[in-house]
Structure 1
């Protein structure tokens, strides 16, 4: 973008010229509706004082690209394809006053002189909505599409079926909606009802509840005609509706009606998930193909999502028929049964001209390289690498940070968090098809609460998915975001924007200068930050943060945002150490888990400390014991040692049983000089960081051996071995 000093005066005498050979008729109609909202009338094609010209040019390699030029006399919008013209018009709309969104008409509007050449970084720029757990009206879906298109998102992944409800009419199986679309209140509804006592947004919406013989039933579904109309509406906004029929798991709503679809004839819960479809029952494939045939008839999208996540395989393992089938077909595990199901259903869809999308769980037993893999399990960090090596295209939808339904989804992480590991093969980056965020609705029963979880997070996703990495700028985004809030207000979006004053530290290890640089980030725009380096609480007389600063040796950084001269919570405390072992070689007797390599063999002595998430690329993960030796390269006086471990019991991240440090001058004979027992219970549910530290008594040694047993047989995560 380049800007000038002049303005274009848009008013009722502005002329519209269209040179498109009839290719942009829907987009021109959209533009005229914008003009009616903005200045109260369509623009005329008769001669005027100034001109807006929409022009078709030779098709670009990227059909979504456009060129917008505003001078004092003329606005020119050029594109080779309808998508490009549409996104140019969206840019123009964002330059118009936000008051137009609620019907406030202006006699004239000044548009700034500028020139923009624009195109998206990714083809797949998507939001998701789960309408199964809690149902949303068709009016809300249309509004959702309007808002996605306003920020140049081009896909809506609609999660139509799950254990808790079947939301799409299937004419061959009317019971799916007659029965499967309705339920008596379940445990998720009960949680919402309880939460609604303090926050009315958690209340179930009355329009989705009907009384039957004195009992309330919750639910709803979309008819095929409603969905066809919705798809057509979304197409005018260049939003592709991608349906998901989740299978073979998450099918309880169907199996409850047709129990013969399960291997054990029951709709029930296993150890973790619900009973899945039976992959060795031919009736299952008849049912699936009949359902998908009707789905394909409704949705013209070239993509169909079949889920294939969180499959409870216990009933397959216990099934005589399934075991017989596996033996006959040389299968060694139930994972291969899942792959058989996925590949068979995919072949049916591909034969009908569709491309198939699956969640990354589907990869367990191997999948065809033509499938699109949606990466959501961010705790399995090697998935994108494995998928692209297999030839699959990948859609990045990691739960952290792209599950907007979780209250800990943070705007900073949505905009900034690395989505691929440091070892991801650059030559296969073209296999990354795009980005998607998800809104799962187990505890989101209302449109107002959905708005609050979505916005303004959607704007951070949209900019990250559209803009090139070189033009993404967090500080600029924070400032520009404020200017978008009035538009969301005018559109009636019940967003929730409470930027936290929490500071996010970043480190830069300078081995030449033997020092560590510290950068502090915040969700708020242009914060005033004071800090200390000696562990004391900062005041307005402490160091004023003006950008990256450096420390040598060990320092305890304490920093906080100050508002009107007063310190605010939370206060950041960060230990930083330029210690004796930085850059020293480390021998691993047991390797790290390949999904969590951090910086590979140099991770334990690179000076970089981990943050709050074990998958931030700084924590190194182990599913074995932690057993390494640091070579100080010469005999050194050793005074102190520390290593920080993380525990997050939910996903299986635990403390070691103890930590033991031994030292040696020759690398063969070791003397144990320090042992620290763990005092964090494995049952502790909250995240814990524990510093295993102690004195090395000033002893002389070259080699430092560190051993920490993995007693819980889960993950160990450690970020740095600090030796002084």
Structure 2
């Protein structure tokens, strides 16, 4: 079964008591277990605070009292009262971040075994307070609902990333970033400090890295932003990061070591761990421009795809790297150091006589192994200094040590998580689709629901997936206001997926609770952008017993009114009112839309659904699919599921050779027509086949051509196109149907269902 159907498991209404209750309580991320009671607790400045923490929670108690000053105008009282808030250390739980919160008419009890657990309980309590408290608008008393919560996170690593190299962000913004992550129980900030476009961390042994490397005259990315700023001022470069240097206006900035230490301390008070990334051996142009001897060819330049990397056979490189990382480790107490190892342009290594000689002497077959040598050598240095090493999944090309944490971002290489855990590595899921929030294609629905590993992932190794992370790359994000808009409310969906148990995750509930979080973000000054679309998202459920296909419609908006037809006509208020899953037998042209104020809204969904003759019939592949796009493996072409707009949705099956399969109908069958859908997206190298040829046979050995269909989509077409190759088989009788689609462009071709009428 193709794994988009699959969202269905996520979208079902849960019967479990762990499910979000139909109450006014809006907590994000939703707790693992919650039971609502009757009545409420009256919180005011006369409420007594009792602390039984064995001296361990002083920082958290201080945080609570600061929160009370914002909400009530005063701290909680130390004097004896009937109405109390009690903070209590409990026996340690198996999960150090777990907590228990109980609210009754006369007592709020928060208990946990660790400061982290107590802090997260306080964050839950904070979300029960009025949003106005975030801006210091206090009130005399607050009613808290009676409830009991037992909560713990799903993943240990719950992270947001921020790229401060491409465009620079102030220290004030970084502190605010930490505050917002902690508000939604995210516990790690991955700080991307260096790249080709700027070096942002002070290294005292190499002062020129920031004196020169932190500044630049306007580059291509800045030009794109300035052009966009004509229509949207959020794309303008912020004046506080512009400075006249040597008679030229330059853009940039950097953080001193003292500033970063202060930030680390601030983040620790919010239980956010800052993980620094010094990207290497690629993405090092900012350093190589100052120290060209670090490159094999002595140049800071661009190769075919990426920038010139560090030279892995030059001992001076390791001296430089170790000196830099020694200072980085002194600033950041995190047990993790991220060294990147992504997008390495290896052409200079191939052209370097020294590199080739080194490879020959060490029995290396290719430059991927040379990259692994570099990664392992730098990792060994960090491990000897008590650190754990994180790399992007590109680093796996030549093989890596099993102790490294792999950050999976290349979602188009679907086998990466499987390969990593089989190698013994822990995996952090950060797939670019949907977790690159800098992309306009990152949709709230997908962030909350999209499967992140394939259906074939080994269940017994699932514990090796230790976290989820989203990234904000800032090539075209130069301002704090624009960063806010790309981050929120997406961060809330990420947070719930990273924290809440799978049983507690519920899309419909999240949409409702999200609406009640927006006023809090407004009070915090977050320039979020929330424009939920009325676009419908269809899901299919193929029922082979009843020979029908169920259709479920989802939307980003809460409780939409949807009308639909099954005959291809445009729906009206007199059409079928959508009340949940409906079923189609044989073929139907589904047309559906959200109606608001009694009127149809765009976009209108059009979806062809076919319960056809070949569903469930075996398919022989004469040439293999690409392992990165397996869809539902060998059953993909005849399982009844139709692909959507994205070729990586788990429905479309991808090929880098010709597509050639044979369907076995099981017996001689009357064949009226065939339809096959292909996609073209020329930008990433996805093209139509040259033609579709259909041959039929009675014995599976001797085939005669029954149909050939050409296409009319030029390779120069830049827009994404989906084309149905349809043709009549004129009622011919046959058992076997062979389908050939030549891959003339030698890029990718993507196919979904082979429909036999």
**TM-score bracket relative to the smaller structure:** over 0.9
Which moves more between the two structures, 614-623 or 105-114?
A: 614-623
Residue of structure 2 in register with 1:444 after alignment: 477
Query: Which digits, 9 at most, give the CA deviation of each residue in 1:244-275, with x for residues without a partner?
Result: 00000000000000000000000000000000
State whether residues 335 and 364 of structure 1, in contact with CA within 8 Å, keep that contact through their aligned partners in structure 2. yes
Match of 2:661 in 1: 628
Give 1:650 deviation, angstroms.
2.5
Corresponding residue of 1:598: 631
CA distance in 1: counterparts of 2:58 and 2:528, whole angstroms: 34
**Equivalent pair of 1:418/1:616 in contact (CA under 8 Å):** no
Secondary structure at the counterpart of residue 753 of structure 2 = strand
Q: In the alignment, which of 66, 82, 85 is matched to residue 118 of structure 2?
A: 85
CA distance in 2, matches of 1:597, 1:403: 23
Q: Counterpart of 2:373?
A: 340
Counterpart CA distance in 2 for 1:304 and 1:647 is 40
**How many Å separate the matches in 1 of 2:489 and 2:84?**
35
Match of residue 329, structure 2, among 266, 291, 296:
296
Q: 1:652 deviation in Å?
A: 2.1
The alpha carbon displacement at 1:114 in A equals 0.1
Match of 1:52 among 82, 85, 95: 85
* 3-state SS in 1 of match to 2:512: helix
Q: Distance in 1 between matches of 2:258 and 2:278?
A: 18
On the 8 A contact 1:422/1:617 being kept in 2, the answer is no
Instruction: Give, in whole Å, the separation in 2 of the partners of 1:303 and 1:142.
Output: 20
1:153 matched residue in structure 2? 186
Tell me which residue corresponds to 2:505.
Answer: 472
Aligned to 2:609: 576
Pick from 235, 249, 255 the counterpart of residue 268 of structure 2: 235
8 Å contact from structure 1 (residues 585, 630) kept in 2: yes
Please list, as runs of the form range in 1=range in 2, the aligned pairs for 1:187-336 lying within 5 A after superposition: 187-336=220-369
Q: CA deviation at 1:347?
A: 0.3
Q: CA deviation at 1:213?
A: 4.6
The residue that corresponds to 2:106 in the other structure is 73
Partner SS state of residue 538, structure 2: strand
Distance 2:681 2:503 in 1: 34
Alpha-carbon distance, 1:420 to partner: 0.5
Unaligned runs of 5+ in 1: none
Partner residue, 1:698: 731
Q: Is contact 1:161–1:245 with CA below 8 Å preserved after alignment?
A: yes
Once the two structures are TM-superposed, the CA of residue 649 in structure 1 deviates from its matched residue by 2.2
Q: Where does residue 528 of structure 1 map in the other structure?
A: 561
How big is the shift at 1:134?
0.3
Note the C-alpha offset of 1:90. 0.2
Structure 2 gap segments, 5+ residues each: 1-33
Equivalence for 1:20:
53
Distance 2:441 2:573 in 1: 30
Distance 1:37 1:627 in 2: 67
Counterpart of 1:663 (choices 677, 696, 699) is 696
1:100 and 2:133 aligned: yes
Match of 1:109 in 2: 142
The yes-or-no answer on 1:485 pairing with 2:491 is: no
Name the counterpart of 2:409.
376
- Matched residues, number: 724
Moved >4 Å (runs of 4+): none
TM-aligned CA deviation for residue 685 of structure 1: 2.3
2:451 maps to which of 403, 415, 418: 418
Q: Distance in 2 between matches of 1:101 and 1:637?
A: 69
After alignment, is 161-170 or 672-681 more displaced?
672-681
- Quote the offset at 1:647 in angstroms: 1.7
Give me the whole-angstrom Cα distance separating, in 1, the residues matched to 2:285 and 2:355.
Answer: 19
TM-score calculated relative to the size of structure 1: 0.99
Q: TM-score, normalised by structure 2?
A: 0.95
Contact kept, 8 Å, 1:653 with 1:716, in 2: the verdict is yes
1:387 aligns with 2:420: yes
Q: Deviations over 1:344-397 (max 9, x none)?
A: 000000000000000000000000000000000011111000100100000000
What's the offset of the Cα at 1:682? 2.2
1:646 aligns with 2:679: yes
Give the deviation of 1:618 after TM superposition. Answer: 1.2
Measured in 2, the distance between the counterparts of 1:690 and 1:330 equals 49
What corresponds to 1:140 in structure 2?
173
RMSD over equivalenced CA pairs, Å: 0.7
1:431 maps to what in 2? 464
Displacement of 1:49:
3.3
Higher relative contact order (CA 8 A, sep 6+): 2
Q: Distance in 2 between matches of 1:633 and 1:48?
A: 80
